[in-house]
């Protein structure tokens, strides 16, 4: 049985077998206490021995063990059940185990990413990721969305931002001829890792009506921040016959569902984050669930920011990208909660967004949350072939490369909308962790790829 199951039992005297890794061993008078954790839940189970022996003497933190005994109510504080141990077998020793201290720095733990899941913090993060990923599927599946597996390798730049990793089998050391002849490369043309599954999701939304993707996403932007990864997981719903208002409602319902799941289904881990990682994180989630997201057009948001111009390091002006300090001000001072900023200037948004009648702004939306800033980015898509083509041409894009995408506007075009949410941004928010590198098992960032 897993420790999580054993701890739920109240059966005094029932035989119990515990298998896991030793967290601590303490000796008190004639008793020996061994705390064993198997990662099935945050709690360890205490195994109490009334005799010492050679195996017990050799046990230390990090060893894997099997303990057999009987369940009993625990007199110790903070736990209901313990094991009155009868036998112990050492399965794997752990000499010079690096995780000895109660609290190691996050930086140190990043260097031993293969062992950090054995700490309370990283175990809790891993369980939270798993349960919330399940909730993502639950949310969409319950609403008749179909899960589409969009490709990881792609020939197109979905965001037009140009920060892509190239995929090639050409020998870089020898491919110094300029220009490189990509017709001899694996795919016969240039290929990349996908920065977004959106464009492919759109092809399925205009066939299955409601779809979503949830997969690895890659960005080669040199953003060495606590909110950016080079490899992350993105969730992208795409809905036919939906406008920006529908999109905003979907995003709000989605976040509220995920936060409610964290509060209700991950209570033990969330309480840990609240106590040890960020005080008040559970209340932050509760507050979002109870809030109504404030909607504000970009132009209005800039007016609000300009009133406080002196406050900011980066002076806001119409046309600027919102900086973290601006996002923070909007969520914390203007709205005191989540804010959806809409209708951004077309110059700072992607080519596929629907143009407003003013010809200057597009039907974009960014969902900003207090403390983190942007958690979701999305838009209504341009469904007019003429307008989309002229926008792409204006941006210098090669329209023939995207003829498949333009076909969606040629054949049965419909208004449609969608958004993208970085899964790690979400987990960062739910757990209160400080750095995005600590909410994914193996972080990839500029200069960082351990193995």
Residues at the contact surface with ligand 4AD, assessed by CB under 6 A: 158-159, 196, 198, 219, 228-229, 232, 234, 236, 374-379, 418-422, 424-425
Q: In whole angstroms, how close is the CB of 443 to ligand 4AD at the nearest point? A: 10
Q: In whole angstroms, how close is the CB of 144 to ligand 4AD at the nearest point? A: 19
> Residue 166, CB half-sphere, CA atoms under 13 Å: how many?
12
Q: Do 195 and 377 form a contact (C-beta atoms < 8 A)?
A: no
Measured from the CB atom, is 220 or 271 closer to Mg ion?
220
Q: Which of ligand 4AD, Mg ion, none does residue 285 bind (CB under 5 to 8 Å by kind)?
A: none
Q: In whole angstroms, how close is the CB of 420 to Mg ion at the nearest point? A: 8
Q: Which of ligand 4AD, Mg ion, none does residue 121 bind (CB under 5 to 8 Å by kind)?
A: none
Measured from the CB atom, is 83 or 230 closer to Mg ion?
230
Task: Report in angstroms the alpha-carbon separations of 421 from 77, 102, 117, 176.
Answer: 41, 34, 25, 38
Q: Tell me how many degrees the CA angle 364-129-330 measures, rounded to the nearest 5.
A: 35
- The secondary structure of 47-65 as a DSSP string is EEESS--HHHHH--TT-EE
Q: Which of ligand 4AD, Mg ion, none does residue 416 bind (CB under 5 to 8 Å by kind)?
A: none
Measured from the CB atom, is 120 or 213 closer to Mg ion?
213
Measured from the CB atom, is 150 or 261 closer to Mg ion?
150
Q: Tell me how many degrees the CA angle 72-74-75 measures, rounded to the nearest 5.
A: 135
Residue 234: strand, helix, or coil: strand
Measured from the CB atom, is 302 or 426 closer to ligand 4AD?
426
For residue 450 the two structure tokens come to 């351990």
Considering only 338, 377, 378, 422, the residue that binds Mg ion (CB under 5 A) is 377
- The secondary structure of 152-164 as a DSSP string is SEESS-SSS----
For residue 413 the two structure tokens come to 């075009």
Q: Which of ligand 4AD, Mg ion, none does residue 331 bind (CB under 5 to 8 Å by kind)?
A: none
Q: Should residue 418 be labelled a site residue for Mg ion when binding is judged by CB under 5 A? A: no
Measured from the CB atom, is 337 or 377 closer to Mg ion?
377
Q: In whole angstroms, how close is the CB of 376 to Mg ion at the nearest point? A: 8
Measured from the CB atom, is 35 or 202 closer to Mg ion?
202
For residue 51 the two structure tokens come to 């005799």
Q: In whole angstroms, how close is the CB of 201 to ligand 4AD at the nearest point? A: 7
Measured from the CB atom, is 337 or 418 closer to ligand 4AD?
418
Q: In whole angstroms, how close is the CB of 175 to ligand 4AD at the nearest point? A: 28
Measured from the CB atom, is 127 or 416 closer to ligand 4AD?
416
User: What H or E segment, with its residue span, contains residue 300?
Assistant: helix 298-307
Candidate ranges 37-45, 329-337, 374-382, 408-416; the one touching Mg ion (CB under 5 A) = 374-382
Q: In whole angstroms, how close is the CB of 225 to ligand 4AD at the nearest point? A: 9
Q: Which among 383, 379, 381, 380 has a CA at the least distance from the CA of 409?
A: 383
Q: In whole angstroms, how close is the CB of 94 to Mg ion at the nearest point? A: 44
Q: Do 76 and 82 form a contact (C-beta atoms < 8 A)?
A: yes
DSSP strands (E only) in 50-113: 64-73, 81-92
Q: Which of ligand 4AD, Mg ion, none does residue 343 bind (CB under 5 to 8 Å by kind)?
A: none
Measured from the CB atom, is 338 or 377 closer to Mg ion?
377
Q: Which of Mg ion, ligand 4AD, none does residue 301 bind (CB under 5 to 8 Å by kind)?
A: none
User: Rounded to whole angstroms, how far apart are CA atoms 373 and 338?
Assistant: 9
- The sign of the torsion formed by the CA atoms of 400, 406, 408, 409 equals negative
Q: In whole angstroms, how close is the CB of 99 to ligand 4AD at the nearest point? A: 27
Sheet order of strands, 191-193 included? 153-154, 191-193, 166-167
Candidate ranges 13-21, 93-101, 369-377, 399-407; the one touching Mg ion (CB under 5 A) = 369-377
Q: In whole angstroms, how close is the CB of 368 to Mg ion at the nearest point? A: 10
Task: Report in angstroms the alpha-carbon separations of 181 from 79, 127, 173, 184, 185.
Answer: 66, 47, 14, 6, 8
Q: Which of ligand 4AD, Mg ion, none does residue 69 bind (CB under 5 to 8 Å by kind)?
A: none
- The secondary structure of 117-177 as a DSSP string is GGSHHHHHHHHHHHHHHHHHHHHHHTTT-EE----SEESS-SSS-----EE--S-TTT--S
Q: Tell me how many degrees the CA angle 281-283-289 measures, rounded to the nearest 5.
A: 110
Q: Should residue 378 be labelled a site residue for Mg ion when binding is judged by CB under 5 A? A: no
Contact residues: Mg ion, CB under 5 A:
377
């Amino acid at each position: 049985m897993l420790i999580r199951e054993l701890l739920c039992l109240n059966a005094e005297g029932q035989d119990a077998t515990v298998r896991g890794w030793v967290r601590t061993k303490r000796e008190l008078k004639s008793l020996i206490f061994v705390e064993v954790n198997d990662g099935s839940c945050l709690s360890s189970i205490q195994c109490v021995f009334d005799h010492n022996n050679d195996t017990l003497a050799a046990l230390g933190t990090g060893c894997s063990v099997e303990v057999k005994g009987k369940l009993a109510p625990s007199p110790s504080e903070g736990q209901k059940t313990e094991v009155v141990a009868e036998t112990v077998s050492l399965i794997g020793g752990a000499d010079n185990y690096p995780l000895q201290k109660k609290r190691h720095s996050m930086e140190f733990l990043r260097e031993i990413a293969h062992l950090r899941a054995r700490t309370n913090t990283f175990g809790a993060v891993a369980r939270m990721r798993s349960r919330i990923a399940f909730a993502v599927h639950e949310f969409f599946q319950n609403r008749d969305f179909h899960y589409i597996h969009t490709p990881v390798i792609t020939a197109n730049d979905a965001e037009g931002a140009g920060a892509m990793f190239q995929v090639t089998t050409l020998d870089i050391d020898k491919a110094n001829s300029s220009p490189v002849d990509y017709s001899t490369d694996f795919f016969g043309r240039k290929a990349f890792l996908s920065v977004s599954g959106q464009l492919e999701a759109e092809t399925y939304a205009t066939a299955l009506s409601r779809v979503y993707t949830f997969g690895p996403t890659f960005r080669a932007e040199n953003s060495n921040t606590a909110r950016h990864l080079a490899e992350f997981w993105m969730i992208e719903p795409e809905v036919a016959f939906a406008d920006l208002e529908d999109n905003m409602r979907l995003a709000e319902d989605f976040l509220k569902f995920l936060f409610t799941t964290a509060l209700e289904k991950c209570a033990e881990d969330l309480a840990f984050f609240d106590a040890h990682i960020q005080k008040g994180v559970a209340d932050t989630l509760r507050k979002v669930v109870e809030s109504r997201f404030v909607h504000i057009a970009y132009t209005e948001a800039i007016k609000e920011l300009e009133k406080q111009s002196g406050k900011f390091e980066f002076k806001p002006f119409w046309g600027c990208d919102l900086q973290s300090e601006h996002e923070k001000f909007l969520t914390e001072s203007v709205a005191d909660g989540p804010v959806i900023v809409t209708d951004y200037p077309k110059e700072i948004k992607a080519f596929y967004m629907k143009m407003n009648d003013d010809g200057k702004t597009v039907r974009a939306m960014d969902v900003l949350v207090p403390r983190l800033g942007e958690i979701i980015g999305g838009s209504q898509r341009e469904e007019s072939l003429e307008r989309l083509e002229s926008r792409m041409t204006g941006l210098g894009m090669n329209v023939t490369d995207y003829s498949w995408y333009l076909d969606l506007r040629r054949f049965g075009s419909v208004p449609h909308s969608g958004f993208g949410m970085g899964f790690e941004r979400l987990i960062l928010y739910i757990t209160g962790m400080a750095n995005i590198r600590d909410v994914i098992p193996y972080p990839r960032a500029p200069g960082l790829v351990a193995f």
